[in-house]
Amino acid sequence: MKIREANLQDVEGIAHVHLLSWRETYSGIISESYLSNLSIEQRKKNWIWTFNNLNINEFICVAEDLNGRIVGFSNSGKNRNTEYEHEGEIYAIYLLKEYQNKGIGRMLFDFSVRRLRSSGYKSMMLWVLKDNPTLGFYKSFGGTVMGEKMIKIGEQELSELAVGWNVI
């Protein structure tokens, strides 16, 4: 398994992982009608925009299997939230279900933390849906639930938790 910085040529693979992992992870949490209406084309457009508008100290990394296929990714940078004082934020970590529980999520998490540290951030946070089974994953690395807010995805109101690390 290889973890590396992503580039614009990775958009197709990232979009594929993003779409499939949403459907795999959020089935039973987010409405099936919303999940079935997600499209690879829209995800690709979103990721092209993201790559073309990266801020300084914002980065994207990918996990590749032995065949060079992208099976996961993370996106991190400056904290986008004003309600918490943590300096850095992991915006997303997604991994295809067949590659979960093999240490790859940990590798993506560690890579993100190292990049945040190297950018000068001393603390970090992330948001995770309350019913997302990966909440335990973040807690196992010392993350503490600091707060909760309601967000709208499609027609649903869902609870999202702020998880933070005061020192990284």
The token pair that represents 141 in the structure block: 């690395």
Report the pLDDT averaged over residues 139-165: 95
pLDDT of residue 156: 95
71 membership: H or E segment, kind and range: strand 70-78
* First and final C-alpha spacing in the chain: 24
pLDDT tens, residue by residue, 61-100: 999 999 999 999 999 999 998 889 999 999 999 999 999 9
Domains along the chain with CATH numbers:
2-121 (3.40.630.30)
Round to whole Å and give the CA distance between 19 and 59. 20
- Residue type present at position 117: R
